[in-house]
Amino acid sequence: MNKLVYFYTPGGELVNRLLTEAGFEIVNGNGTVDHELLAKCDALVPGKGVFRRDLLEEAKNLKIISKFGVGMDRIDIDACTELGIWACNTPLVNYVAVSEHTAALLLAAAKRFLPVVSRVHREEPDWFGAHKFTSIELMGKTLALIGFGHIGQRVARLFSTFEMNIVAYDPFADDSAFPDYVTRVHTLDEAAACADFVSVHAAGEKSTEHLIDAHFLSLMKPTAILINTTRGFVVDEEALIKALQEKRIAGAALDVFNTEPVTGRNELMCMENVITTPHCAANTPEARLRSQRDAAANIIACFNGERPPFALNNPIGVSKSDKSDE
Ligand SMILES: NC(=O)c1ccc[n+]([C@@H]2O[C@H](COP(=O)([O-])OP(=O)(O)OC[C@H]3O[C@@H](n4cnc5c(N)ncnc54)[C@H](O)[C@@H]3O)[C@@H](O)[C@H]2O)c1
């Protein structure tokens, strides 16, 4: 019988084709948990669904979770390991899109696009009203990157061409990850205090919740701008709103929020010195195709008896023919 792949939400043409050609049966969910399907599926592509231990225990046949993108904050990886389920992501698919989006947000904030553009995109443009918003030159300014993985490193590369001073804080990165145009700093405080721009790229996981807190914000320069494209919970949103309202920092540029989707009034979306996008940094056709390709590769490898190429765990009781990363 064909192995059953449960897509929490439809995955796309490429992943469907790759899996169907490899002999899998695909069933698409509608973005809510289908318990019957969960109980009988062999593989799960979880979309934005939250799969904690209780749900994983219902999935008696499940051998692999293969998630589009890098963030695994909605998946209980420890429970996967204990239940003999491969937990996989597709870590190399989004960093181009997200680093470019970060660059766009940083530039938009520095060049005051929100207040300026909103004054001229009117039936009666407020030409001189727009001129009162002066913008910031990047050359010679300091950009502090919090988290220096795939996205942080590419953001550094992009902004090195603007002749910025770039510092990065990442306690887990290897020294070899830091090119000569990036200065490694060893404390968050140091990063906060020296920066004209802080861009947050630390992995969005339990341990990084409120990494950027009131204390960090209090150390930032009053002229500094915070950019966050990782996960909303990595920044203490209440503390950020307070720091912005009290003008203790100059602005923010955000793609991610504490609660998503944002519905109703959110203070951050009512300030002219805050530019926001709706968690769409990775929303490019190129990234989607890469996600589909790599998510399919994980599933196909798993049922070929191999270690999935982007496995994050070593599930208990699963023998691996390829133990190359252990
Ligand atoms: N906005 C979006 O649409 C979008 C899309 C993709 C990824 N993301 C987010 O971006 C994050 C980073 O992606 P990536 O591809 O660079 O991941 P990555 O795994 O390559 O890099 C994450 C880095 O964070 C570092 N880190 C972990 N804990 C830290 C801490 N306490 N302080 C500082 N650094 C810490 C790790 O050492 C690692 O180098 C993801 O975890 C995800 O949350 C957002």
In short, whether 254's Cβ falls inside 6 Å of ligand 1 is no
In short, whether 67's Cβ falls inside 6 Å of ligand 1 is no
Q: Which of 150, 201, 231, 288 is the catalytic position?
A: 231
Half-sphere exposure of 79 (CA within 13 A, CB side): 17
Told to judge if 231 belongs to the known catalytic residues of this protein, a careful annotator would answer yes
pLDDT of residue 325: 43
For residue 8, how far is its CA from the centre of ligand 1 (angstroms)?
A: 24
pLDDT of residue 1: 77
Told to judge if 57 belongs to the known catalytic residues of this protein, a careful annotator would answer no
Is-contact 224 196, C-beta < 8 A? yes
In short, whether 308's Cβ falls inside 6 Å of ligand 1 is no
Domains of the chain in start order, with CATH, are 4-92+285-303 (3.40.50.720), 95-276 (3.40.50.720)
Report the C-alpha gap between 80 and 308 in whole angstroms.
Answer: 14
- Which residue type, as a one-letter code, is found at position 169? Y
pLDDT of residue 323: 39
pLDDT of residue 319: 67
Instruction: Name the residue with the closest Cα to ligand 1, atom 5.
Output: 282
What the block records as the tokens of 74 is 């909605």
Residues in Cβ contact with 136 at an 8 Å cutoff, skipping those fewer than 6 apart: 110, 111, 196, 225
Alpha-carbon distance values, 305 to 46, 86, 309, 322, 323 (Å): 22, 12, 12, 9, 12
For residue 289, how far is its CA from the centre of ligand 1 (angstroms)?
A: 21
- Under-50 pLDDT residues of the chain: 321-326
Give which of 208, 276, 268, 278 is closest to 244, Cα–Cα.
268
DSSP string of 201-241?
Answer: -S--SGGGTTSB-HHHHHHS-TT-EEEE-S-GGGB-HHHHH
Q: Please confirm whether the linkage preceding 91 is cis (ω < 30° from 0).
A: no
Best substitution site from 75, 170, 233 to test ligand 1's pocket, by max atoms within 8 Å of Cβ? 170
pLDDT of residue 101: 98
Q: Which residues pair with 7 in a beta bridge?
A: 28, 45
For residue 162, how far is its CA from the centre of ligand 1 (angstroms)?
A: 23
Q: Which of 101, 154, 201, 279 is the catalytic position?
A: 279
DSSP string of 111-178?
Answer: TTHHHHHHHHSSSS--HHHHHTS-----TT-EEEEE--SHHHHHHHHHHHTTT-EEEEE-TTS-GGGS
Best substitution site from 48, 106, 172 to test ligand 1's pocket, by max atoms within 8 Å of Cβ? 172
